[in-house]
Amino acid sequence: MNMEDIARLAGVSKGAVSLAFSGKPGIGDETRERILSIARQAGYTPRSRVRPPVRPSEDSPRGREPAVLPFLVVANSGIVTTHYDRQPFFRELIHYLEKSTESGGLSLLISAIDMERFEDDLRAVAEAHSDRGAILLGTNLNKEVISRVAERLPKLVVLDTCFETLPVPFVYTNNALGGYQAGASLCRSGHRTIGYVASNVRIPNFDNRRRGFDEAMREWGAKVLPEHEFSVDPMVPTAQEAFKSRFRRLLNEGSPLPTALFCESDFMAIGAMKSLAELGIRVPEQVSVVGFDDIAEAVIVSPELTTVRVDKEKMVRAAVRLASAAGDSPSGLSVKVAVDTVLVERLSSSPAPLPTE
């Protein structure tokens, strides 16, 4: 049983279930008790959680509620599923959020807004938190959805995406720089026949990575051939048949293989390496592979993955700082904070192989 099931049984929105679990206002006592009773009977452990606040000093005013920092996730939209916190990149973001808020004496409240009940869930969250600074995971969201959330939560900070024409604070990765770093590094290593592994679900982060990569290709006089373009599921870090079929066709036709692949995320890179291994293609001796994100799994796979490091901790610290300041002051000018990337070279990439005679 999940939050959706409990909401259905209780006859309320998923946002109301989140408020009941977090102990926050916004719903009546009778509704809260009905939700909690259903959850207890089902043996359900809430995924939304509040980090315990730092114990106040004796000089602190008594009776003051601990400062709460809401972290909002719009689930069932794009690459962010109901189980987003099981995905490595988002799991690491949440880890740093918990670490950052705890060190700042804040209580972190994680709440999911279901895209299928967007207005009801957003209304419940806004009723409880419109006067607080809050962080919204923006990875999977378009401009319109972020605007609607910001209208209800005027002290909002958006994490992991950016729309320059929205007057909203954003903290995000410089994805174009990361794509450029990956492309330029491969070109410096002698690669000119480079393939591109793209997500079949598009978000601005991926588009900006492609933009930076293409800029590096132009500067080095290289380009991606149409037969070296691959589209994969970004959420499946295993061998994918569509990718294997494209590569197998190149082998069968005797066409030149790309000597390197740039993948829009580490999950896609790990899946590509597994596909290549099943086809008998050696990494990096025959094909170098470069990913993006530097998730923990990048050093577990063999060979260890060369990747573009996203400084998740720095992004989170900046977002928490902005949201905390917004909660203590009226809404004012918004800022946009871009965090630069670094290429981390490991064993999945090497100089381009010498041409065979």
Q: Give the start-to-end residue ranges of the domains of the chain.
A: 1-48, 175-309
Residues 6+ apart with CB under 8 A from 222: 183, 187, 191, 192, 194
Residues 6+ apart with CB under 8 A from 229: 195, 196, 198
Beta strands 156-159 and 134-137 are parallel
Q: According to the model, what pLDDT value does residue 56 have?
A: 43
Burial (CB count <10 Å: 0-12, 13-18, 19+), residue 142: middle
Fold of 1-48: 434 Repressor (Amino-terminal Domain) (1.10.260)
Tell me the whole-structure pTM to 2 decimals.
0.81
Peptide bond into 303 cis (omega under 30): yes
Q: According to the model, what pLDDT value does residue 32 have?
A: 75
Q: According to the model, what pLDDT value does residue 70 have?
A: 92
Q: According to the model, what pLDDT value does residue 84 have?
A: 78
Q: According to the model, what pLDDT value does residue 105 have?
A: 87
Helix pair angle (118-129, 143-152), 10° resolution? 40
Residue 135 C-beta-side C-alpha neighbours within 13 Å: 31
pLDDT in tens, the chain (357 residues): 567 667 766 766 666 777 777 766 556 667 777 778 777 666 565 544 444 434 444 444 444 455 889 999 998 777 887 777 778 899 899 999 999 998 888 888 888 888 888 999 999 889 888 888 999 999 999 999 999 999 999 999 999 999 999 999 999 999 999 999 999 999 999 999 999 999 999 999 999 999 999 999 999 999 899 999 999 999 888 899 999 999 999 999 999 999 999 999 999 999 999 999 999 999 999 999 999 999 999 999 999 999 999 999 999 999 999 999 885 655 557 899 999 999 999 999 999 987 654
> What's the CA angle centered on 264, arms 260 and 268, to 5 degrees?
80
Domain 175-309 indexed as CATH 2.102.10.10: no
